[in-house]
Homo-oligomer: A and B are copies of this chain.
Amino acid sequence: MSRPVASADIFQAIADPTRRAILDRLRSGEQPVKQLAEPFEMSLPAISQHLQILCNAGLVSQQKSGRQRLYRLNPIPLRQVSEWVARYEPFWQQKLDALGDYLEENP
């Protein structure tokens, strides 16, 4: 097999810019592959492989409709990312507050 396991890890799945763009694109509703692939300068199989990785990560689900396959966004696993990054929010607030104070004191 050539692309067997295709990491089910969310962070890995969203690491690739094309995959993030696909997800962004899916926010406007479910779409068939060809339409989804349209803005990318990349072969269809490449997109198909990205979709499979997103599928394995649970970020996307597919449904057959005639001869096309509709892909639909499933954002729920992204909560994992949201929760992880949220733990850092107090830190950057603090950093930005400090920067603000500095700028106030040194105008």
Residues of A within 8 A of B (CB): 9, 11-12, 14-17, 20, 23-24, 27, 73-76, 78-79, 81-82, 84-89, 91-92, 95-96
With the chains together, A85 CA to B20 CA distance in Å? Answer: 10
Say yes or no: A27 contacts B76, CB within 8 Å.
Answer: no
Evaluate contact between B89 and A27: CB separation under 8 angstroms.
Answer: no
25 pairs, CB–CB < 8 Å, chain A vs chain B: A11-B14, A11-B15, A12-B15, A14-B15, A20-B84, A23-B88, A24-B87, A27-B88, A27-B91, A73-B88, A73-B91, A75-B88, A75-B91, A75-B92, A76-B92, A76-B95, A76-B96, A78-B88, A78-B92, A79-B92, A81-B81, A81-B85, A82-B82, A82-B86, A82-B88
Chain B residues with CB under 8 A of A15: 9, 11-12, 14-15
| The residue from B11, B23, B24, B74 contacting A20, defined by CB atoms under 8 A apart | B11
Q: What residues of B have a CB within 8 angstroms of the CB of A84 in the complex?
A: 20
